[in-house]
Structure 1
Amino acid sequence: MRPVSKTSLSRRSLLRAVGGTAALGGLAGCGVPAAYVKPGDRAAVDHSADEKRLDWANWPLYIDTDDDDPNARPTLEEFEKRTGISVDYVEEINDNDEFFGKVSPALMNHQPTGHDLIVISDWMCARFVRLGWVQEMDRARQPNVAEHLDPLLREPAFDPGRRFTVPWQSGITGIAYDRRKLGREIRQVSDLWASDLKGRVTLLSGLDEAFALLMQGNGVDITRWTADDFHRVCDQVAAQVRRGQIRRFTGNDYTKDLVSGDVLACQAYSGDVIQLQADNPDIQFVVPEEGAELWSDSLMVPDLARHKANAERLIDYYYEPEVAAELATWVNYVCPVPAAREVLAASDEEETAALADNPLIFPDATMRQRLAIARDITGAERVGFAKRWNTIVGL
């Protein structure tokens, strides 16, 4: 096992809030009756017993590989060996909206997608759950999930009890900054608006990626934010744009600006900063005193999946602490299995054991108190909110 290489900096997608899939996105968000699938129409005949296989769509660079063979995936191969289930693993998800546009025609027409398992971000999972496009999982087949899923992740507003989704990996949206170049600490969201940072701050361009942390800076409980909270943030960001405080709005390319020194502080993902710190320990990641957003990319079984039981079995396998620990050493995001920490701490490899004490992989008690999962943007809210945000961002 070893930490993931820096190539995974590209794993988080550059979201395009209103683009080629805008019409489909609006349809999903609004829950058009023709697109909704009733619970009784979601399941197909399960061929798991007689077809020992499953099809899994995931993001690029989001699973462990082998040092000598980048096409080998040790944990996945161990699952296949242990169960006899062959997994067709495809790295075809590069953007939440893009993938939605790809599979939505089948799902809204009550047709199979060809996938038994998919991984998308929770804000997009919320659309699938509302539309009835994913199946409720059988937790009797998933004792490891029931026992080891982090309590912080068990009750998102869009899926109470995680009946339809299981986190694959999680992360924190907070603030990254170069402590040496800035010459001081950043502790609060409001610190981004300090005069010595004028023109050297970036915010994330994606609406779903950016809004929660900014609301937390205003003391908002993001599990139950309101439209007034959203518009207050928009007013604040628009004012900072006018005064030249914000250099630009970014996708994943904020890392380039931070490394080059063009930017001294920015909204950032915890997993990216772990990787940047390998080359520059002066780059710090902050969970602000007001709090930060905890998010997940989650596993789901889409409607009419042909091998649902096999998919549920694979999900439960990745919630074994030993397997979760091996995966955590590669992806470097927040591990959804806290028990994996003890596995890593017991490693004979110093570098691996050190990951157990990294709060960006296993948040400590103090940090956990400041993390929250944001209420997602509903379909009724999305069109108007996206229009306002995109006008400010310049999309």
Structure 2
Amino acid sequence: MRRARIITGLATAGLLALSACSSGSSGGGANPADGKPPKIDKLASLGAGEGQVNIVSWAGYVENGTNDPKVNWVTDFEKQTGCKVNSKVAGTSDEMVTLMKSGEYDLVSASGDASLRMIYGGVVAPVNTDLVPNYSDVRDFLKMKSWNSVDNVSYGIPHGWGANLLAYRTDKVSPAPTSWSVVFDNAAANAKHITAYDSPIYIADAAMYLMAHKPELGIKNPYALDDKQFNAAVDLLKAQNKNVGEYWSDYTKAVQALKSGNTVAGTAWQVIVNLAEADQAPVAAVLPSEGATGWSDTWMVAAKAKHPNCAYKWMDWIISPQTNAQAAEWFGEAPANPKACEFTSDKGHCDKYHAADAAYASKIWYWTTPTTRCLDGRTNVTCKDYAAWTQAWTGIKG
């Protein structure tokens, strides 16, 4: 919440436009001819630091006191390891992919809608988790998942996670919603006051809804859609479009829309709800009966990292209990390391973000890059990749 308030007041226009885990509106799919990532060796052993590390990250993940003198986990890292941190903030997943392809960066905090593109593209290397001591403490439900591993090979270190919740105005929506139907099949009741996340990855939200309400489509994974399934999701979103007042990617604007009443129901993050509630807006949020999409951000090492030892030292540092607590609280998410909950300044932070609730986490379909290789295990059909999702999103919004 503190991070959100500071960014809201920043004069820098670029930072104002950042969203915590935004997908870009362009970018290709991840479609290797043989269905496997290129062979890249992981680091075999940890050596001395190279003196620096070049990082691409979401805003709020690499804080050195510039935004708030009290928020700084970079300086101690530099002192303890001798690795100077050079960081570049990316505004979208597509920007992250592009920056990592440049070969100038060692490390990236990738969301699931970028990670597979970089894995299959040979941009990032497998991670030797034995060289990251704090990895053993990371919650099991975040390890070796479809967005951070391929064929039982780990490509990243989980950092934090959260759900895309259904937020609503308690003075406008009654009874309290328990289903995403309020923004899909019943959206007309609040025409032009529905909000949705502005990204091709939002197609997964429609697919997830159809999993529950049109089982005859056979959707098993909202990121693995064949032609028929994909077209059904796109049609649902086109029907929703006429009732959408605003698509958002800047979460500060989502806060304002809820506070003003321009939005009465739609997708939001917990931090959006927290900020609106802090300003006395009559809002609430729920993880609906169908579940929710969400994010689990992953630290990934460049395949040709010039400073791999410093990169590994950073990955261990950022998921250490105290640092993971600072980053998760500043960013507005659940920390990956359960020991971090002992060190948050707000002792209710982990409860608020359901950090220890595996049942809650199991209801989340974490962002994963759609590929032609169906992520639900089907081999008799071809699924729509991220490029197709991007093209369809343009048509959905009109």
When normalised by structure 1's length, the TM-score is 0.80
In the superposition, relative to structure 1, how do residues 64 and 280 fare at CA in structure 2: closer, same or farther (>3 Å)?
farther
Q: How does 1:116-195 map to 2 (within 5 A)?
A: 116-145=106-135, 147-158=136-147, 159-160=149-150, 161=152, 163-192=154-183, 193-195=186-188
Question: Which residue in 1 is equivalent to 2:285?
Answer: 285
Question: Which residue in 2 is equivalent to 1:357?
Answer: 351
Q: How does 1:214-363 map to 2 (within 5 A)?
A: 214-218=206-210, 219=212, 220-222=219-221, 225-227=224-226, 228-241=228-241, 244-252=242-250, 253-280=253-280, 282-344=282-344, 352-358=346-352, 360=353, 362=355
Q: CA deviation at 1:53?
A: 2.3
Residues 168 and 285 in structure 2, CA contact (< 8 A), matched pair in contact too? yes
Residues 64 and 331 in structure 1, CA contact (< 8 A), matched pair in contact too? no
Deviation per CA, 1:314-357: give whole Å up to 9, x if none: 2112222222122222111121122322444xxxx6xx112232
Partner Cα separation in structure 2 for residue 58 and residue 328 of structure 1 = 14
- Decide which of 74, 77, 101 is 1:76's aligned counterpart: 74
Letter in 1 for 2:191: K
Higher mean displacement: 136-145 or 360-369: 360-369
When normalised by structure 2's length, the TM-score is 0.80
Residues 222 and 375 in structure 1, CA contact (< 8 A), matched pair in contact too? no
Partner Cα separation in structure 2 for residue 389 and residue 338 of structure 1 = 37
- Decide which of 199, 204, 222 is 1:212's aligned counterpart: 204
What percentage of residue pairs aligned between the two structures are identical? Answer: 20
Letter in 2 for 1:293: T
Partner Cα separation in structure 2 for residue 225 and residue 51 of structure 1 = 41
Q: CA deviation at 1:95?
A: 1.8
Structure 1 position 17 matched with structure 2 position 37: no
Letter in 2 for 1:93: A
Q: How does 1:103-122 map to 2 (within 5 A)?
A: 103-104=100-101, 106=102, 113-122=103-112
Structure 1 position 386 matched with structure 2 position 386: no
Q: CA deviation at 1:71?
A: 6.0
Unaligned stretches of 5+ in structure 1?
19-24, 107-112
- By percentage of residues, which structure has more helix? 1
In the superposition, relative to structure 1, how do residues 129 and 142 fare at CA in structure 2: closer, same or farther (>3 Å)?
same
Q: Secondary structure at the match of 2:167?
A: strand
In the superposition, relative to structure 1, how do residues 271 and 298 fare at CA in structure 2: closer, same or farther (>3 Å)?
farther
Unaligned stretches of 5+ in structure 2?
9-17, 213-218, 373-383
Q: Secondary structure at the match of 2:127?
A: coil
Question: Which residue in 2 is equivalent to 1:21?
Answer: none
Letter in 2 for 1:140: D
Higher mean displacement: 125-134 or 296-305: 296-305
In the superposition, relative to structure 1, how do residues 65 and 185 fare at CA in structure 2: closer, same or farther (>3 Å)?
farther
Q: Secondary structure at the match of 2:91?
A: coil
Question: Which residue in 2 is equivalent to 1:110?
Answer: none
Residues 124 and 300 in structure 2, CA contact (< 8 A), matched pair in contact too? yes
In the superposition, relative to structure 1, how do residues 50 and 353 fare at CA in structure 2: closer, same or farther (>3 Å)?
closer
Deviation per CA, 1:253-273: give whole Å up to 9, x if none: 333322221110111223333
Partner Cα separation in structure 2 for residue 16 and residue 182 of structure 1 = 31
Partner Cα separation in structure 2 for residue 276 and residue 114 of structure 1 = 39
Higher mean displacement: 296-305 or 317-326: 317-326
